[in-house]
Structure 1
Amino acid sequence: MAPKKNKTTKKSKGDINDIMVENSPINKINGLNTLIEGGNGFSCISTEVTDSVYAPNLLEGLSNMRQESFLCDLTVTTKSTTFDVHKVVMASCSEYIRKILKKDPSLLKIDLNDLSPVGLATAITYAYSGKLTLSLYSIGSTIAAARLLQISTLVKMCSDFLMQELSVENCMYVANIADAYDLKETKEAAQKFMRENFIEFSEMEQFLKLTYEQISEFLSDDSLQLPSEITAFQIAMKWLDFDEKRLKYAADLLTLIRFGTISAQDLVNHVQSVPRMMQDPECHRLLVDAMNYHLLPYQQNILQSRRTKVRGGLKVILTVGGRPALTEKSLSKDVLYRDEDKVWNKLTEMPAKSFNQCVAVLDGFLYVAGGEDQNDARNQAKHAVSNFCRYQPIMKILTSHVFLFYVCF
């Protein structure tokens, strides 16, 4: 009897091994990968994208948590006020707190008794928001907190704020704040502002409160912007006359005035008429020295001193005489200078037209020696000039001398 053949068992439709999930997400992804790998005309490049509101929202959330004292793990205190904060926020902003917590991460309280409540509150607000409201009234306490907590960005914000707020009314206050907290950039900006607006500043009440050292620093400055040295003298006398106790500084302060740059006529009309200049021996000597300087013009080169130096002078390029055009006989006697806008302006003029002269600057004077007053077609020196001129920047005039000899090579 032949053996019976086993019937093939049909698998049921519910068999797990035969389930086909045609629309599953995995199949869709595999299908996309096949498109990319198959070279369908585009490449897959990753790009970083940023949520522009994430950081502000995060800071706002942390700030709300602090206001609710939620998850706060550190207390910072002044003598009269305490603030609950998050260690991670304050340590990320303040180098000072970061160093303390590095030594003892379990610390729960930090005393900051040298800070005012307003200053500390402002620094905490900045740490949680990056924003703050500044005013000249409270700026000192904010800077003190920023410097102690070593928040350099907050110090920079305060420094920039002070420079933006500079005015004739508050420039001295800003300079004092900057000096007190060692804000060098701000102090330099305030001093520059006062130098450039010195006349307006001298009319303010703050000016009269300057110390002797402060006003001396201004009057010693070569770049001080003034219409004339008479103005500097009048401003110095105004400061001296404000308080009788200042009269002991009179001689020392007035040595800073450039009396030698004041004309003889103005010395008589505006300086000699001041009683102190005649009554005080040391002040009177300053006046006599200035008058002698003008009475001896040919000795001025050996009488040069700080009191004969022009204040606020600029370095410029000069042209002396010469041929302004290519025409052979078109000579000039003008002395020109080029200003900051590269425009040529007339400074003064020589007694006569000339070119090929020798020019030198010595001891603050411009010397012009010799030259020719015309030339022939062969460009040979036929008419030598035997003049010698010295330009005085103080009086803006040329003094002429006659050469005793002239050597031509």
Structure 2
Amino acid sequence: MSKLRVEHLSKIFGENTEKALELVKAGESKENILQETGATVGVRGATFEVEEGEIFVIMGLSGSGKSTLVRMLNRLIEPTHGSVYIDGDDITAMDAQALQDVRRKKISMVFQNFGLFPHRTILENTEYGLEVQGIEKAQRQARAEKALDNAGLLAYKDQYPSQLSGGMQQRVGLARALTNDPEILLMDEAFSALDPLIRRDMQDELLEMQKTMNKTIIFITHDLNESLRLGDRIAIMKDGDVVQIGTGQEILANPANDYVKRFVEDIDRTKVYTAEHIMEEPLATTSHLSTPAEVRETMETEGIANILVVDHDEQLKGYVTLDDVTELHTRGATDISEAVQVGVPEVPADLPVEEIFDVIHTTETPVAVTDDDGVIEGVISRSNVISVLKRDEQTEDEMEVKADE
């Protein structure tokens, strides 16, 4: 079961909402609905699911409906139509008390403007949510101090927001949201007000924290680079519609329409594609206990000058060259173990392609993509990396042709 499920969620602002909703269901455009009813469509029939532990990014330009959508997920904005399910419970059907319990125990929100109380210390700001719940002072302070410590801000607990930089204030806002130990974290343009370098630091911090806290995060942004960097999956919005949902790689490779295609055409794919995306099955591998004759035959058949060597658990041991194998065969060696050379570059499957460039240029062997146990998942050659660059060049050529037209 998904952690959060949204079904046919719509929000219409203004009067004549019933007539406007009929037109929404009939597929009329936002502009036509405004002209006919005077009502503004904020979100139109959004339907999606978010899995537990996923960072789900909702992105779009100003006016696309992304902030309205995220505020309907905890009913800060009441939906006009549709349902929002958290752990299978429809929060749009809950009474005030049940909704309050959900907001206090299951879901927290981090805003763009930090939302800190200027007259409260950092510690008092951080423990505020627990104070509202009626948690005893010593307990809430202990939990708030732990959250600040995790954010690297415990030393500043007695200072006030005005004494902290924008980046530090945003970290306090994040710590406050996490103090309640929510299962779902809503982040509405949380880093948009920060300077570029601080913003990237906050992105790094969020990704690092997610490794241990494993929250379900719905992150709102207008920045495509930010969404590609953070999102396990991305939902792109336009004029209240969710026009495409997918991983960054899926959206770059197969944009759903011309709007999405224009959105992603300037993206450097080497920053988005990972080793997993471009790796291939190795032409061949061999055991360190194989005979030189067997290995030489395999290498000559495949037309390769070196071959990766693995043990019985498929863990990478190194490589051997055709010359070394031939020499072992000539002198009658029973296996190739003494000729195995170490130093095959290994990278994880989630490493961005741009970080593989330096590695691929300094090795004579393919780069091995391995898991945490050193088991080979695939290999990357120079041709794999070049193919990604060619895709970028083709995209640029297409853009130039369109400009000439």
The question of a shared fold, defined as TM-score above 0.5 by the shorter chain, is answered with no
TM-score for both structures, normalised by structure 2: 0.24
If each structure's strand is expressed as a fraction of its own residues, which one has the higher value?
2
